Amino acid sequence: MTFPYILCLLTFLILLLWRYRGWLLSWAVAKICRCRSVRLGKCGLFYVEHIRLCLSGGIVIEIDDLRLTISFFNTHYTKPFIITISDIRIEGEFNEQLSLTSSYKRQYSHRSFERYLYWLQYTSAIIRTARIVFLDVTPGSLLHSTFQQLQLDGYRDREGMQIELSCELLQAKLFSRGIAQNTAPLFVLSLGLSVCCNVPLGILKLKRLAARITDPQLILSDGLLEYFHDHPIRRKTKSTSNQFCTSFNIEHLLNTSLKLDIENLVLRCTANMDYSKTRTVSARLNVASISTEDNLRFAIVLTGISVDDQKREILFSCNEFNAKLNREMESPGSLFIDIKIFYPRFVMSQKAIVEWTDYYHNIRRRISVEGHFDDDFLTASVDLHVVPMEMKQFFCTSLSLSVEVDSFRCHLMLSNGEEINAGLELGTFRVCDNFASAEVGLDSVWIRQGNLFVDHFDSRFCHTWGTTLIIGALLTQYSQYNETRRLLVKIVECQIEYEEGLIQQMASFLSSLLYSSTSSATCSTSSAFQPHPSSQIVSAIQISVENITFFILARQSLYLILSIEQLRVDALSSPVTLSMLVLNFKIFQGIVTNDKFISWDDSAQIKSKEICGNSDRLMMRFSLLPSSWEVILLAESAVNLVWSTTVHVIFLETFRSLKQISNLFEQKTSSKASQSFHFNIETSSPVIIKFHLPRNHVMCWEVPSLHIRYMNHIIIEMPQFTASLDCHPILTIEKFCVEKQAFDAGMDLGRNEFKNLKNRTNKLWIWSADAVMLIFPYGYNFAAGYDEIINAWKWIKLVHEWKRKPFTIESPLPSDLKFSIKVS
């Protein structure tokens, strides 16, 4: 009789438990998870229809259709236990107290973690849809995230556990709650994700982590910058930072082997240029591969990079970007970086560059924090420069960098419709020992106008009109030792073309950029800031150029060629000196024809050009002294110069255009004490100057040597001066000397005899010679040649726009003249 009663009691208890199974399960979940409330829907043996959890931090979790499937009854599954959730929703407000609850303060031991990993190998979790909404993830924000087909699996191997996490689609949006009139998200993220990691048992260390991201799309707005400016992220103080504990250190994370693959990345940034104009910049990346190995090697490969805006006024593309970082096992502080860039392409518009530059300075002023007072005194004691002990051993003490650029192209569209194309076949940049030494190498650099393309460049004596710059090869080496810096530059085969219209357009473009950047820096710089005085560093620069040629175009019809076979420039910073050596210097002039090419060393074309200057060896030295600056010019070989109206016009137009360009870059500076100017010109070889006058008349000045010195006064000395007209020597002066002085006592005594003449401190010219010989050849029409000399002088005054000033009582008197001739 007792057994039936016991059986009835057990049946009653089972029915009672089954009847109140929901309440009992809710109570157990509330105790385990420490929830404020738990609500369960319809429950079965292996499923719960609905679960609602209210955590103590104010977060609400709702789960729909939670099921447990056992593979004993369904052989379709590979794991013994399969947990599936149809939909999960998490909502709440994120705050710092959420992470300080007792459940988060609790630290789990390695045994507990291994126990969870042990059960994970028999379990698979699948979440079909997950939605997470958090308020105040950052102050004043709302984060909405959606996950589709989220799956978590674990597998056991010999070394530990392999954990796999996959998500078909992840979407996230961040909104600013403080902007009621603008409901556009600050950023939108969408991607597919697959993560696999290896965790060894026995130690909590992440050994290997591999991730694959497919079709990621990220949309950003410049409102994100203003949002972070209005809601700065507070830095944690030492007291709050110590409340967060972790079971693994930074060393374990850095020693993890990582591999990340990204496919078809799309990044869009929207910028509000002004209140009624927006621009969108899109960046695309076909494949990105990032990998690390034992904190010794890091590699990143980017393929198919392209950036453009909606108007396609700015384009950038690159076939491949390859970067490798290697750290030596014996010396972890030594880091070597190797970067290779293949086929980069730039297309830029002057209008777009100016607009983006103005936008950058405007957004910089809007988000500038200078002048604002931060009343968060809790962060005052935080030393932001303190480096954790775990990170000090990974800092780089010796950096070596190598960058290689292959086949670079750039296309610039100016505002006036002109187009400029630039190219570089190969460029290298190397740095050793933290920039103690650096090297830059360039091969085949060119800048051309329009769509001009030249497929041959085999002669240094051939030039294509419209080619602004050509450099065959360039090598620059920089080194620094103690307080001495040295820069060496070597250039081979250089051609530079100066065309007034193009150069002025480029100068105007650069000045607009420099003006905007200078004004921005002036606005953002505090007047109270005074930098520390820099230490005295001696800099030495040496530039060596082989076969450099300048082409100067004037009025689109005249050209001048300056050819130098070898040029060397040496400069020193303390004291400031500049030395220059020129070998085999030639000047050609001519008229532009319809030919696209010009060869100035071709015998067939030599007749169409005229040599208007040459010298084998010239030296110049510039010195900046505390009270003056000096220029010394030495000609160690014969100097031949030819003047003509063509040469004069070319130099005059070039001078005027350079003056206009310099005015674009002039800035108002405080007046400084003027320094005196001294120069010295000396030649030990003949100097010949020919003047090609109109109507085929030629005047020639010839001296066997020349010495010109200017300090407080000017002195011109020559042993003999010969002036010829049409190959007839007209004037010959022996030991000719011209001197300009501020005053002379003898001349002042002579001026005192004139009572009505005001004795002003006028300058004095003294002309002296041992002998003067004037010859008029028989049968030669000297008057015709003399008339052309006068006409040439009138033409010079006309093109220079010289006008005689009215002579008033306030006008200074002309300089006095004093002639001294021993034999005539």
CA proximity to 82, closest of 72, 93, 71: 71
Helices (H), 78-207: 102-105, 110-120
For the cut 90, the answer to whether the pLDDT of residue 313 exceeds it is no
- Asked if the structure places residue 79 within a domain, the reply is no
For the cut 90, the answer to whether the pLDDT of residue 34 exceeds it is no
User: Between 500-524 and 645-664, two packed helices, what is the crossing angle to 10 degrees?
Assistant: 20
Q: What are phi and psi of 355, to 5 degrees?
A: -65, -45
Neighbour tally for 639: CB within 10 Å:
21
Residues 6+ apart with CB under 8 A from 821: 768, 769, 770, 771, 772
pLDDT at 720: 93
374 or 343, higher pLDDT: 343
571 or 181, higher pLDDT: 571
- Distance of alpha carbon 441 from alpha carbon 424, whole angstroms: 11
Helix-strand-coil split of the chain, %, nearest 5: 20, 50, 30
- Asked if the structure places residue 515 within a domain, the reply is no
For the cut 60, the answer to whether the pLDDT of residue 357 exceeds it is yes
- Distance of alpha carbon 556 from alpha carbon 502, whole angstroms: 12
Predicted confidence (pLDDT) per residue in 646-669, tens digit: 899 999 988 988 888 888 777 644
pLDDT at 75: 61
- Distance of alpha carbon 32 from alpha carbon 53, whole angstroms: 12
Strand boundaries in 2-140, DSSP class E: 35-40, 47-55, 60-70, 81-93, 123-135
- Asked if the structure places residue 765 within a domain, the reply is yes
Neighbour tally for 244: CB within 10 Å:
11
- Asked if the structure places residue 761 within a domain, the reply is yes
- DSSP-derived letter for residue 97 is G
The first and second tokens of residue 418, run together, are: 């002109």
How many C-alpha atoms does 361 have within 13 Å on its Cβ side? 18
Predicted confidence (pLDDT) per residue in 210-253, tens digit: 999 999 999 988 777 777 777 666 544 444 444 444 444 545 55
Q: Into how many domains does the chain fold?
A: 1
- Distance of alpha carbon 81 from alpha carbon 72, whole angstroms: 9
Inter-residue contact 99 to 93 (CB < 8 Å): no
For the cut 60, the answer to whether the pLDDT of residue 99 exceeds it is no
Distances (CA, A) of 569 to 268, 469, 614, 621: 48, 20, 20, 10
Taking residues 795-802, report their average pLDDT.
89
Is beta strand 334-349 parallel, antiparallel or unpaired with respect to 398-413?
A: parallel
Identify the weakest region by mean pLDDT among 125-134, 291-300, 454-463, 802-811.
454-463
Identify the weakest region by mean pLDDT among 15-19, 95-99, 597-601.
95-99
- Asked if the structure places residue 700 within a domain, the reply is yes
Identify the weakest region by mean pLDDT among 280-289, 337-346, 446-455, 535-544.
446-455
- Distance of alpha carbon 821 from alpha carbon 127, whole angstroms: 113
For the cut 70, the answer to whether the pLDDT of residue 76 exceeds it is no
- Asked if the structure places residue 776 within a domain, the reply is yes
> Residue 811's pLDDT band (boundaries 50, 70, 90)?
confident
Q: Is the peptide bond before 575 cis (omega within 30 degrees of 0)?
A: yes
Inter-residue contact 34 to 103 (CB < 8 Å): yes
Predicted confidence (pLDDT) per residue in 715-754, tens digit: 999 999 999 998 899 999 999 999 887 777 777 676 666 6
- Distance of alpha carbon 173 from alpha carbon 150, whole angstroms: 18
Identify the weakest region by mean pLDDT among 58-62, 608-612, 798-802.
608-612
What size, in residues, is the chain? 824
pLDDT at 284: 93
Taking residues 594-614, report their average pLDDT.
67
- Asked if the structure places residue 674 within a domain, the reply is no
For the cut 80, the answer to whether the pLDDT of residue 438 exceeds it is yes
For the cut 70, the answer to whether the pLDDT of residue 388 exceeds it is no
**How high is the mean pLDDT of the chain?**
79
CA proximity to 353, closest of 344, 364, 361: 361
pLDDT at 604: 47
Using CB atoms within 10 Å of the CB of residue 572, give its burial: 0 to 12 exposed, 13 to 18 middle, 19+ buried: middle
- Distance of alpha carbon 168 from alpha carbon 64, whole angstroms: 20
pLDDT at 412: 86
What is the Cα Rg of the chain in Å? 42
70 or 495, higher pLDDT: 495
Report percent pLDDT > 90 for the chain.
27
> Residue 51's pLDDT band (boundaries 50, 70, 90)?
confident
387 or 640, higher pLDDT: 640
- Identity at 538, one-letter amino acid code: V
pLDDT at 765: 84
- Asked if the structure places residue 246 within a domain, the reply is no
Q: Which residues pair with 144 in a beta bridge?
A: 133, 173
pLDDT at 22: 60
- Distance of alpha carbon 591 from alpha carbon 560, whole angstroms: 9
pLDDT at 528: 40
For the cut 80, the answer to whether the pLDDT of residue 387 exceeds it is no
For the cut 90, the answer to whether the pLDDT of residue 433 exceeds it is no
Inter-residue contact 57 to 34 (CB < 8 Å): no
pLDDT at 673: 56
Q: What is the distance, to the nearest Å, from the Cα of residue 357 to the centroid of all Cα atoms in its chain?
A: 13
Q: Look up the domain containing 742 and give its range.
A: 686-803+812-824
How many C-alpha atoms does 479 have within 13 Å on its Cβ side? 5
For the cut 90, the answer to whether the pLDDT of residue 805 exceeds it is no
Predicted confidence (pLDDT) per residue in 460-483, tens digit: 677 888 888 999 999 999 998 888
Identify the weakest region by mean pLDDT among 256-265, 371-380, 776-785, 796-805.
371-380
Inter-residue contact 35 to 57 (CB < 8 Å): no
pLDDT at 662: 81
Instruction: Please tell me whether residue 676 adopts helix, strand or coil conformation.
Output: strand
799 or 93, higher pLDDT: 799
Q: Quickly tell me which residue has 């010794």 as its tokens.
A: 296
- Distance of alpha carbon 692 from alpha carbon 645, whole angstroms: 8
Exposure letters 796-813 (e unless 16+ CB within 10 A, then b)? eeeeeeeeeeeeeeeeee
pLDDT at 107: 46
Secondary element (H or E) of residue 717: strand 714-725
Q: Quickly tell me which residue has 């060869």 as its tokens.
A: 599
pLDDT at 755: 63
Taking residues 344-367, report their average pLDDT.
82
pLDDT at 766: 86
> Residue 28's pLDDT band (boundaries 50, 70, 90)?
low
> pTM of the full predicted structure?
0.76
Identify the weakest region by mean pLDDT among 167-176, 504-513, 625-634, 698-707.
504-513
DSSP letters, 193-214, are: EEEEEEEESSS----EEEEEEE
